[in-house]
A and B are shown apart, each in its own frame.
Chain A
């Protein structure tokens, strides 16, 4: 970004900036300081914790897979096709990024709950109900997390050099071959970043999950739900689980540092 030369911060900027940074760092330090390290292993291997971890991994990976299958085509349409109302559609499908997740959960209930618009038909015709099931958790997580993948992949598709696709086509490649052998490999970094962001958001999902899917160990009680509920019965255990989620988030950030933090 331009030829910015380092300069000294005026005192008042330095003070406010330090406060701003401390605002983020102090809570993290608090978590690390209050974590009872001696009990860490027993807390992590407690049956409920293992179950919550297992469920969180299954659900977040499943919703990332769903997001890839549905989100990449959506991103492709946004990047390549012009049609009336596209911006409105994009705004609607991006909404969960800024929507309070609990509102998303209520909306999901009204659509896919047993009495919901689609849900009553699913229940009547197939006997499928989503609330209180792991599939419901995947629904909630996908709803909240998929926009992160769509926007990242769309940006990747927009910024790629399309002459490679044209060259492949003039050399006689079919559309499917162009897509799988040229387009997708070229946007692989965006795909990976989008998938990781989507997965991290799904892993941390709380509001939509507890509202739409409920809370039961092994079925719908994911890590964030377990952390929240443990705070009432076993605060130390919830500190340890919080730290685990913190480390996962940190790992995601470090993995994506070239995209977000620049390559300084």
Chain B
């Protein structure tokens, strides 16, 4: 039975490869959530390394910004979202080709200055007087998740600024303008020793789900699909894991 299943899977994989054609070529544009910036840049380089004469261009921004750009006619081949809501919005606009696939998960963390000078150890500490807390805006997935985590913990705190994407939250803390923010664990990791992270317990934490899809009217749909297959492959998942993402 197992052998049969393996044979069927192998056959399916072979068919998939045959459909793609041996060498997808040309270029694709990938619209990806800001939190994917570093991981996707590496994925793009590796993908280009595997395929001759292939170029992958990226546009990184807050997920709702990307959807707005696509709605207004921006040309893209692949869309990688930081939540299901924005993916659904693009789908209901009729701008997706085929079904989206989940390719990664992420968790939240509190980002603070190196050495945690304000001694922030929990979500409740964000509401301490004098602590400047910033978040991504409520339409940005990271901002929505941050709000959910605070609600689960029963913490009421008003952000001093609603940033347009999650990377801006990190940079506000990095510059010392803000004392703390809620971002993805991957963002804390990406910023290296310029910031520090404070873990959020599982009972309050929120899991972010990242779906990816071929954009309807993509100039290069076959290469777009090849890129998505690569992201979902063992090699692609290993790259994502090295940036702190959890597997699909």
Contact = CB atoms under 8 A, between A and B. Distances in A.
Contacts of A214: 134, 160-163, 172, 177
Interface in B124-172: 132, 134, 137, 139, 159-164, 172
Interface of A: 109, 113-115, 129, 131-132, 210, 214-217, 219-221, 229, 231-233, 235
Contacts of B201: none
Given A109-B175, A113-B176, A232 B160 contact: no
Contacts of B178: 132
A215 B177 contact: no
Contacts of B175: 109, 113, 115
Contacts, number: 54
Contact of A233 (B64, B161, B163): B64
Contact of B177 (A114, A217, A229, A233): A114
B160 A216 contact: yes
A221 to B, nearest CB: 8
Given A114-B176, A115-B175, A214-B172, A233 B160 contact: no
A219 B160 CA distance: 9
A131 B177 CA distance: 7
Contact of A215 (B71, B132, B163): B163
Contacts of B159: 216
Interface residues of B, number: 21
B25 interface: no
Interface string B27-67: 00000000000000000000000000000000000101101
Contacts of A216: 159-162
Nearest to A213: B161
A235 B93 CA distance: 14
Contacts of B177: 109, 113-115, 131-132, 214
Nearest to A123: B176
Nearest to A115: B176
Contacts of A131: 161, 177
Given A113-B176, A115-B175, A232-B68, 6 more contacts: A113-B177, A131-B161, A132-B134, A214-B162, A216-B162, A233-B139
Interface centre among A113, A219, A232, by most chain B C-beta atoms within 10 angstroms, is A232
Interface in B155-202: 159-164, 172, 175-178
Question: Of A113, A132, A214, which is in contact with the most chain B CB atoms at under 10 Å from its CB?
Answer: A214
